[in-house]
Structure 1
């Protein structure tokens, strides 16, 4: 999510960016053909930098966009869809209780460093994560492990969730058995996450020699995760270089890949953090595709012959409220006032592609568990002012963090959306103190640690289960929200423990109703993000989960 001061500034920045790209890459383009004349390099314009080359340490889509090409999990999603299929496990099953998961693994799979993939490798990974200590136990570092598997062998903080991971057992070379203490709606979907993708055991030994460190709100990630050379997965591409100065990650086809080989030899992810910059780079031929196309650019690009497929809606943008960061937010009338102050329909009309929707709850209507009976908060500035006055909060002043240097699938125009929300709040008499922070890592870390009273953030589903949305935020105390409410927590957890799909859906509906009655934050919108490709590109199948497999890409 990037922020600049004005449209004219963004246009100037984009022009400079494209100029630099064109100058810096001319020689590369001259070399970008093999002897047969076919292009050997596909360059994709990403909205933001990855945080890490080790997906286990990340929770952001830009990291996973890169690592997904190099790492594979036990399970995956079908190309272009949300159905779970085999990944490194050809088959999987569980006991009736959902606490014992058996994976029949693929044979003949090699890691990028030459190591052999087998059940020992699977267990080495899960046991490695389970035994993390120190800053690795911070939710900003091990977010997904804690979300899916709970805490660690020895929790060091009372707020760290209880461990649900029990063990990983090698039944034979091609069979791994993972046990958990309690059934969870996060399984089996969690086994498909990039954060739980499988690394070479040899690489894990090198990882263990380094540490994540923390000073205040700043987290320093280990060297191995910030430069190519150590990380090793099993995917169709291997990571060969991360040039942070040029905001570029380079990958090369892995010729020993067990499945269908990548069609293009070289894959490059280049960060261009403005919408205009990405569009102009595509039009100039300096990149071959980019994500998060500005709604106003879709028809222009299509009219010029570019390909601009739109994904299905599977995301949510929300206005987060951190009660412990501002005591006024503990009053329900204040949270309700903020909800009534924001014109969400205006955001949809002016900022989102066709198909965008106002969000009424913390999941899109494409997910089972969406309820038509949640409490609604219509746009009403006068009511917002009245609620503030009744709560003794007239003239409320609140810090509002917003991210810079990135764009997200659920938020195609971050600066513009921030300005709209800010203006709405000010019309209701709320003084907004802007707090800009660079997306990676400053903004994400500050939000997850509860340092932002108001903030804009969102979620693209990892897999198709309601708990992947509401369970992400409201299954228990979370610093990002800074509240404790057993009615909400218990309603959310009840769905996660129900094995019957129909009953689980009904429990998710009840949970959504409890959440919106309490109103910990304000769901804003859901957006169908568009992705663009060059005229000469045969694109991959686009994914509602934004999990495109670039090994499918080729050139016409």
Structure 2
């Protein structure tokens, strides 16, 4: 039984988390029809009937869903491409989408998916089992399609879920076959207990066979053709324009057109909302909260299902020493960080998995804030003040990272206070922040985060630690084996115990330091009556309710 994941919440008390001066506003200030909301005035400009404008925080990186490791890219891909499995808006449990039904064999090694019939792609072609098989075959060879000259990258969804690509002996997906015109069979070498949940991620969006080309692997990104409620009209760094798909199998959505406008700065998102140029202001920052409350905005929250962390490059001659990493961990005041820059309900993160997953370990090392101990640890390592490159993003807001520049400044002050010599390396998110830090072999530290894609600890541990990646250069055979054991363990209690053991080892090895499990929020303008909130960001624009 899954706990509710997508219930819409009004933030009746919202402010800087834990501070004595946090904003305390009555719940009535956030409910539709309240006196405060009724008194608010706004001039709304409407270019076309039933259109909705959302504020994005960065430009779309690629319209190839298999490469959608960035949340803003995944947000748009989710509207154009649909997955076999969906997510129920009320419970967060798996739900039919392109597959109307699925079942696992008694040994858990074969999954049979029955496809929805009479589903069309945006190019007019039909969804069949052969098309689904072609998509799986492409995902399983994505490493070949990217080529050996591809830049360093984070772990892709197929690789994380199945343990590798098809040419990797650790890949659990043995075959994918069309057992009938509308029947697909996946055969595994070992159980994957969370397979249906994981297949709901936007990276597994099904594309038309017409745009899947080995000779031209980038064609899908140029010509995105899915079965989603919206088809892509245009995409550029400033905005994405989506048009309702007239032949959508579930009927045309209420909003005929949706524009996602790139507004990296929170102040710009607030201004455009107040001017009526934006209907949905996503990723509210604490410094803008007062203005939103005073204007009577309806504010909704996502339950915390992401983690912000400080990553360490273990190939760096200084950061390769676990004692140096521990000194850094004990130097950072997590309570002050949360209280200063995050919304009410955010919590310091002492492990990578959020509390909702119920796998926190009581035995895992918890690095408490202790300046004297941090100084002593650092002194004992013989660190001589060598400059340490510290990467952080600019002009970026994520569910896990509302104010990156301010968060970096706070952490850098803490590290400097105990003796670290920090060299800031700011890079704009849209200028390739992740690529830049991965390409710098001499970097020492970086800030990044992860939003959970589905309700399993593997959604966090798998992409981060199941393979040695250039992000941490961390390679623990024991952690890898435990992650592999957990994904095939069908007893929930035993599986959770394995994840707790993983948490223990990761905390001890300290390849990265979890910092915050944040709350994120959305403010609605007068043009939108409701927005489909989801901790895993399964937010479909077809479920947006425009105001009458």
Is the CA contact 1:82–1:544 (under 8 Å) kept in the aligned structure 2? no
Q: Out of 242, 245, 257, which is 1:251 matched to? A: 242
TM-align CA RMSD: 2.0
Cα deviations by residue, 1:312-346 (Å, 9 ceiling, x for unpaired): 1111100000111x122221111100000111111
- CA contact 2:353–2:460 (8 Å) conserved in 1: yes
Tell me which moved more, 173-182 or 66-75.
Answer: 173-182
Match of 2:454 among 455, 463, 487: 463
Secondary structure (helix, strand or coil) at the match of 1:258 reads coil
Residue 181 of structure 2 is aligned to residue 177 of structure 1? no
3-state SS of the aligned residue for 1:281?
helix
Q: Which runs of 5+ in 1 are unaligned?
A: 1-28, 34-38, 156-160, 212-221
2:545 aligned with 1:539: no
Q: Are the aligned partners of 2:155 and 2:469 in contact in 1 as well (CA < 8 Å)?
A: no
The answer as to whether partners of 1:43 and 1:269 remain within 8 angstroms in 2 is: yes
> Once the 2 structures are TM-superposed, how far is the Cα of residue 81 of structure 1 from its aligned partner?
4.9
SS in 2 for 1:188: helix
Write the deviation string for residues 199-218 of structure 1: whole angstroms up to 9, x where unpaired. 0011213xx3324xxxxxxx
Pairwise CA distance, 1:98: 2.6
Select 2:59's aligned residue among 29, 41, 49: 49
Q: Quote the residue 1:203 is aligned against.
A: 211
1: CA distance, partners of 2:510 / 2:332? 14
Q: Once the two structures are superposed, what CA deviation does each residue of 1:260-319 show, in whole Å capped at 9, x if it has no partner? A: 421011110000110000001000011111211112323431331221101111111000
Whole-angstrom distance in 2 between the partners of 1:377 and 1:30: 51
Residue 68 of structure 1 aligns to a residue whose secondary structure is: helix
Tell me the distance in 2 between the aligned counterparts of 1:349 and 1:30: 37
1:411 to 395, 401, 410: 401
Of 96-105 and 482-491, more deviation after overlay is shown by 482-491
Tell me the alpha carbon deviations over residues 240-266 of structure 1, each in whole angstroms, 9 at most, x when there is no partner.
11133xx11101000111114210111
Confirm or deny: 8 A CA contact 1:290 1:532 kept in the other structure. yes
Take 2:219 and 2:225, find their aligned partners in 1: how far apart are those partners?
15
**What is aligned with 2:323?**
333
TM-score (norm 2): 0.87
Residues 142 and 525 of structure 1, relative CA distance in 2, 3 Å threshold:
closer
Q: Is the 1:450–1:481 Cα contact (8 Å) retained in structure 2?
A: no
What's the TM-score once normalised by structure 1's chain length? 0.86
Matched residue SS, 1:493 = helix
Instruction: Tell me: CA distance 1:478–1:330, structure 2 relative to 1, closer, same or farther (3 Å).
Output: same
Matches of 1:491 and 1:375, distance apart in 2? 18
The match for 1:32 is 47
1:434 aligns with 2:424: yes
In the alignment, what sits opposite 1:486?
A: 477
How far off is 1:105 after superposition?
A: 0.8
User: 1:523 Cα deviation (Å)?
Assistant: 0.6
Distance 1:54 1:141, change over 3 A: farther
Whether the 8 Å contact between 1:403 and 1:436 is mirrored in structure 2 is yes
Q: Which residue of 1 aligns with 2:272?
A: 281
Question: Bigger CA drift: 536-545 or 525-534?
Answer: 536-545
Q: For residues 105 and 141 of structure 1, what CA distance do their matches in structure 2 show?
A: 31
* Correspondence for 2:197: 189
Structure 2 CA distance for aligned equivalents of residues 253 and 85 of structure 1: 22
Kindly indicate whether the alpha-carbon contact (under 8 Å) linking 1:234 and 1:257 is maintained by their aligned counterparts in 2: yes
1:395-425, CA deviations, whole angstroms, 9 ceiling, x for partnerless residues? 2431101112321101111110011111111
Q: CA deviation at 1:56?
A: 1.1
What is the rounded CA distance, in whole Å, between the counterparts of 2:160 and 2:490 in structure 1?
A: 18
C-alpha deviation, 1:362, in angstroms: 1.1
Q: d(CA) in 2 for partners of 1:257 and 1:441?
A: 35
- Quick one: distance in 2 between partners of 1:141 and 1:384? 30
Report Cα offsets for 1:337-391 as digits up to 9, x if no partner: 0000111111110000000100011111111312233211111121111001111
State how 1:542-553 maps to structure 2 within 5 Å: 542-553=533-544
- Pair 1:117-2:127 in alignment: yes
Distance in 1 (alpha carbons) for counterparts of 2:108 and 2:289: 45
In 1, the alpha carbon distance for the partners of 2:494 and 2:251 equals 40
Give distance in 2, aligned partners of 1:404 and 1:67.
24
| 1:379 maps to 2:369 | yes
> Does the alignment pair 1:322 with 2:320?
no
Q: 1:487 to 1:204 in 2, by over 3 A?
A: closer
Name segments (4+ residues, structure 1) moved above 6 Å.
none
1:59 aligned to 58, 61, 69, which one?
A: 69
Match of 1:240 in 2: 233
Indicate conservation of the 8 Å contact 1:140/1:449, yes or no. Answer: no
Give 1:129 shift: 2.2
Match of 2:26 in 1: none
Q: Shift in Å at residue 165 of structure 1?
A: 2.2
1:388 aligns with 2:369: no
Deviation by residue 1:138-170 (Cα, 9 ceiling, x = unmatched): 562871121123333446xxxxx7332221111
* Shift in alpha-carbon separation, 1:57–1:88, aligned structure 2, 3 A: same
Greater Cα offset, 385-394 or 411-420: 385-394
Q: Are 1:498 and 2:489 matched, yes or no?
A: yes
Moved more, 339-348 or 133-142: 133-142
Q: Distance in 1 between matches of 2:154 and 2:321?
A: 31
Any idea what SS the aligned residue of 1:82 has?
coil
The corresponding residue for 1:135 is 146
How far apart in 1 are the matches of 2:106 and 2:314? 40
Rounded to whole Å, the distance in 2 between the matches of 1:525 and 1:31 is 39
Would the alpha carbon gap of residues 275 and 546 (structure 1) be closer, same or farther in structure 2, given more than 3 Å must change?
same
Give the SS at the match of 2:298.
coil
Which residue is 1:308 aligned to?
299
Partner residue of 1:164 out of 172, 184, 198: 172
Report what 1:555 is aligned to. Answer: 547
Distance between the aligned counterparts of 1:396 and 1:80, measured in 2?
Answer: 52
